[in-house]
């Protein structure tokens, strides 16, 4: 197996790195402190193709692999975790529309989503359906050529700011087989938004509740067939778990680089901090864990790209490992800064705040362990290896 990047991958990484350095990193602290929705930056990302990385090329997407997309997201996250996370959510929703949408929906939304002209939110979680997403209660009832949607969603990233919503709603029986997926305008009659949540991190990304009160959606804006919504949602979450793990990787990489620069410059007791063995060992552990997490994420992306039957398990393992390890790396990087790491003049505390939620969303890490353990217990040891 060749772990080196090929020429095309390197070109994409270089482009993402330049955008991250020039547009994201200089503004990330301001966006966080003032809770600014970085619309212009995300639209610029769209101009570079970063809003439709693995979307269908028929509708303006680049059609890249999940591995290639992960390489790009890692570079972007080094500049701004929050903005990159929103871009990954948009990419997931855009992929759902362009891969599963009927012609009418793709013509209406496809190229506007892949270009970044429209931004999208993914609406699955409900007040009483978090980890148990299959128990969602939002309903979509057929009425002529439309469906009428009623219910509510919570913790929706970009809600109130994005143009398009991909919504999971119940069209049939209880459980996963009764759920369908729809794409609709966020300004449709009957949609209202709750207050902007005051969060620990991800402050540059609006998070709100969405209420649906008799919202009419044309039947041709259903994604896939009726009853296939949960299956589409879970396919989306496999890639979403790679994406959010990658956001943790990029942030931890930047935290590591900042810590290295600091310990090589800061002096105590007449020598730089890097001369102390305690910090040397800390840095060794941080770097080892970062490389291990990165390889796990890239392996999972490779499995997903190749439709491996155990791809879901690998995505769960990668998400669990990378988000836990990378949060720890950010914490240790902050420790290298001492008291300076705790104040907002330096970015270390922001890295810590922004990566903490990655262990919760796209399925909590406890749910990842459920997915992994079920697969282990259902197979013989040879199959796991």
- pLDDT, tens digit, for every residue of 167-196? 999 999 999 999 999 999 999 999 999 999
**pLDDT for the residue 194:** 97
Please state the rounded mean pLDDT for residues 220-239: 95
Question: Above 60 in pLDDT, residue 44?
Answer: yes
Q: Tens digits of per-residue pLDDT, 139-150?
A: 999 999 999 999
159, 162, 166, 169: CA torsion to nearest 10: 30
Split at pLDDT 50, 70, 90, the class of 381 is low
Residue 136: pLDDT over 50: yes
Q: Which residues contact 220 (CB under 8 A, 6 or more apart)?
A: 102, 103, 104, 105
Q: Nearest 5 degrees, angle CA 176-CA 182-CA 186? A: 130
Q: Are the CB atoms for 130 and 253 separated by under 8 Å?
A: no
CA 51 to chain centre: 13
340 pLDDT band, cuts 50/70/90, is very high
CA distance linking residue 235 with residue 312, whole number of Å:
8
What does the pLDDT average to over 85-109? Answer: 97
Clarify whether 7 is annotated catalytic: no
What pLDDT shows up at residue 280?
A: 96
pLDDT at 235 over 60: yes
Position 383 pLDDT exceeds 70? no
The predicted structure's pLDDT at residue 385: 46
Dihedral sign from CA coordinates of 371, 374, 377, 380: negative
Among residues 17, 265, 362, 366, the one annotated as catalytic is: 362
Pairing of strands 120-123, 164-170: parallel
Q: What percent of the chain has pLDDT over 90?
A: 95
Domains of the chain, start order: 7-114 (1.10.540.10), 120-226 (2.40.110.10), 230-384 (1.20.140.10)
- Tokens encoding 59: 């509708």
Cβ-Cβ contacts under 8 Å for 233 (sequence gap 6 or more): 124, 133, 168, 179, 181
- Count of H helices and E strands in the chain? 12, 10
Using the Cα atoms of residue 363, residue 369, residue 372 and residue 375 in order, give the sign of their dihedral: negative
pLDDT, averaged across the chain? 96
What pLDDT score was predicted for residue 132? 86
């Amino acid at each position: 197996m060749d772990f080196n990047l090929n020429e095309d991958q390197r070109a994409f990484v270089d482009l993402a790195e330049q955008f991250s350095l020039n547009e994201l990193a200089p503004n990330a602290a301001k966006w966080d402190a003032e809770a600014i929705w970085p619309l212009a930056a995300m639209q610029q990302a769209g101009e570079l193709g970063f809003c439709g990385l693995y979307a269908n090329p028929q509708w303006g997407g680049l059609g890249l692999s999940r591995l290639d997309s992960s390489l790009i997201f890692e570079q972007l996250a080094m500049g701004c975790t929050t903005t990159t996370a929103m871009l990954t959510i948009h990419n997931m929703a855009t992929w759902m529309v362009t891969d599963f949408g009927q012609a009418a929906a793709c013509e209406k939304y496809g190229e506007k989503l892949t270009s970044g002209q429209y931004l999208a939110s993914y609406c699955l979680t409900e007040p009483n359906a978090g980890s148990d997403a299959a128990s969602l209660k939002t309903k979509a009832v057929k009425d002529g050529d439309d469906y009428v949607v009623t219910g509510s969603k919570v913790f929706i990233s970009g809600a109130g700011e994005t143009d398009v919503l991909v919504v999971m709603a119940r069209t049939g029986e209880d459980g996963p087989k009764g759920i369908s997926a729809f794409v609709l305008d966020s300004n449709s009659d009957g949609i209202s938004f709750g207050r902007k949540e005051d969060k620990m991190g991800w402050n540059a990304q609006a998070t709100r509740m969405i209420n649906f009160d008799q919202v009419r959606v044309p039947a041709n804006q259903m994604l896939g067939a009726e009853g296939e919504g949960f299956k589409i949602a879970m396919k989306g979450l496999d890639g979403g778990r790679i994406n959010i793990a990658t956001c943790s990787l990029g942030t931890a990489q930047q935290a590591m680089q900042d810590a290295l620069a600091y310990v090589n410059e800061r002096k105590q007791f007449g020598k730089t901090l890097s001369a102390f063995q305690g910090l040397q060992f800390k840095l060794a552990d941080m770097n080892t864990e970062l490389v291990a997490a990165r390889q796990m994420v890239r392996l999972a992306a490779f499995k997903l790209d190749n439709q491996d039957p155990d791809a879901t398990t690998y995505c769960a393992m990668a998400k669990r490992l990378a988000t836990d390890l990378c949060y720890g790396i950010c914490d240790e990087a902050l420790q290298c800064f001492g008291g300076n790491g705790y104040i907002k003049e330096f970015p270390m505390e922001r890295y810590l705040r922004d990566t903490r939620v990655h262990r919760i969303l796209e399925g909590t890490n406890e749910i990842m362990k459920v997915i992994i353990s079920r697969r282990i217990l259902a197979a013989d040891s040879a199959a796991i290896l």
